[in-house]
Amino acid sequence: MNTRRDFLRKMGASALMLQLGSITSFSSAANQIGKPYEGRVLRVAIMGLGGYGTRVAEAMKACTKAKLVGVISGTPSKIKAWQARYNIPEKNCYNYDNFDLVKNNPDIDAIYVITPNALHHNQVIRVAKAGKHAICEKPMALNAREGQEMIDACKNANVKLLVGYRMHFEPRTLEVLRMRNVGDFGKVMFFQAQCGFKAGDPSQWRLNKALAGGGSMMDIGIYAINGARYMVGEEPVWVTAQETKTDPLKFKDGVDETIQFQLGFPSGAIASCLSSYNISHLDRFYLSGEKGFAEMQPSTGYGPIRGRTHKGELNQPITTHQTVQMDEMATIIFDDHRPAIPVNGEEGLKDLKIIDAIYQAAETGLKVKVKG
């Protein structure tokens, strides 16, 4: 199956295992030099044992503050394989029907939901009702209404809701944001994001509206939307969008093939973005200010991220994104740490509101105001 994750895996292919063996969390580097970490460890169960779930599990081997302790899957054979591979006890294994029973399991602190988009809403709400912290893959839900319901459910249960925004902890990305914050680029005028690849197997869930909620916009497009927000450093107030579909048999009604969209920000900055399931080799960010620029390519792949600014090449440490993410999320959950770029449910909701507006703009041809 040729999916977004297959595509990104190819872009960063050999880096994962090399990184797992030699590079640990950027944020936890001090622990590797000094005494071992002795604080609380976030005990995580992964729900959805597919390709990305496996990548997260492998990356967590290098974590110092998080540990894989449980699994949730609808496929018994996968559960058995993961038990053997990651030494997971039988009492920490659940299926999609009975995972509510995790409320009686004190050995699991959080559940990472890595399932098709349409399942996130109900599954996260069930996780919250079971009294466990929820980590959810992006997009957090199919629309803003669902996202708000997930936020409310977690607040009512007094548990945290975090979203798998791994780029929010990536060192070279954070360096660009640091440079912007200290004024190295001057006033930001323009941002461009190009995110795309050729989707493969037409029977995959990502091309099924009932499971995906859309097409490229609900998958690779989330990187362009979220990237525009954190690179510009503002929230967009309007969007315009245009959809192009060349293969209606593969990309059926409600499954977008390619969408170009534009964002307007309060300062006057603008963004021009593209999300596609039918254009290969697109993984680039470009930020332009009155005094300088930043370019990242690859900008969101699994690694290594590469980039340059008007001051030269970015050379911050290369990390395994998911290792850093899970260690950082442990500090957010246990210590109420606030990262440079939020990864909470409210952050996910902002992206969903923009997605709603983009689809409306593409359908109507109108400039659409983004709801606050």
Q: Is the peptide bond before 298 cis (omega within 30 degrees of 0)?
A: yes
Catalytic residue among 132, 138, 160, 350: 138
Taken as a whole, the chain contains a residue count of: 372
- Among 52, 165, 223, 302, the one annotated catalytic: 223
Tokens representing residue 82 in the block? 């993961």
Q: Give the whole-angstrom CA distance, residue 172 versus residue 286.
A: 14
CA 131 to chain centre: 23
295 bridge partner residues: 286, 308
> In DSSP terms, which residues pair with 296 in a beta bridge?
285, 307
Q: Give the three-class secondary structure for 229.
A: helix
Contact 261, 183 (CB under 8 A): no
User: Is the CB of residue 274 less than 8 Å from the CB of residue 244?
Assistant: no
Give Dmax (Cα) for the chain: 59
Q: 360: closest CA among 370, 347, 348, 351?
A: 370
- What is d(CA 150, CA 161) in angstroms, rounded to the nearest whole number? 8
138 included as an active-site residue: yes
- Residues with a catalytic annotation lie at 138, 223
